[in-house]
Amino acid sequence: MAITLLPLPYADTALEPVVSATTLQTHHGKHHNAYVVKTNAAIEGTDLADASLEAIVDAAVAKGDKGLFNNAAQTWNHGFYWHSLTAEASVPEGDLAAAIDVSFGSLDALKAELAAQGTAHFASGWVWLVAKDGKLSVEQTHDAASYADLSGNPLLVIDLWEHAYYVDYKNLRPDYLKQVIDSRLNWAFAAENLSRGTLWTYPA
């Protein structure tokens, strides 16, 4: 079964004014879709043709297949990113809020760390909130590198590639990060990932 383009979990206007409909239409409909198409082309007729996206990422790493990894991992990363965003501003609650306080001292401190690492990250990549060994941490990955195959359970991610923000913010990545972190992070999704304790899976 081919990998599908995961639909956005909200209307393409839902994240405005933080992320415009134009950005979402291009980012999801062009960039994410291209990764899906290239992944499917690479696995067609192989023993990965019916595999889950997570298994494809793992196989690409094991085989040292950089082309397959880049497209499969980027497909996964983007699916996770769409769910990391939400139209409604909220705050962490329950076990997630407690874990944030233990690991960072406060929600404001976590937000500052996400913004600082996202701003400092050189070139393209991702900034993640990750649960590992009973604590939370903010981690960066470069290019297509993904927590689909790294140690730790990702709770949220923010896309740092220019196509995620350039239409709306030009080269001002810090402005994009501030707006997303302040009002568009999906803390309910993070709480679900923390509670489940296992890796989110890309829908078949």
Digit-coded pLDDT (tens) for 69-87: 999 999 999 999 999 999 9
Q: In what order do the strands lie in the sheet with 153-159?
A: 135-142, 125-132, 153-159
Q: How confident is the model at residue 204 (pLDDT cuts 50, 70, 90)?
A: confident
Q: Does pLDDT of 1 surpass 80?
A: no
Task: Write out pLDDT tens, residues 151-181.
Answer: 999 999 999 999 999 999 999 999 999 999 9
Once rounded to an integer, what is the mean pLDDT over residues 14-38? 98
Q: Are 200 and 83 in contact (CB under 8 A)?
A: yes
Tokens of 120: 């400092």
pLDDT value at position 130? 98
First to last CA, the chain: 8
Its pTM stands at 0.97
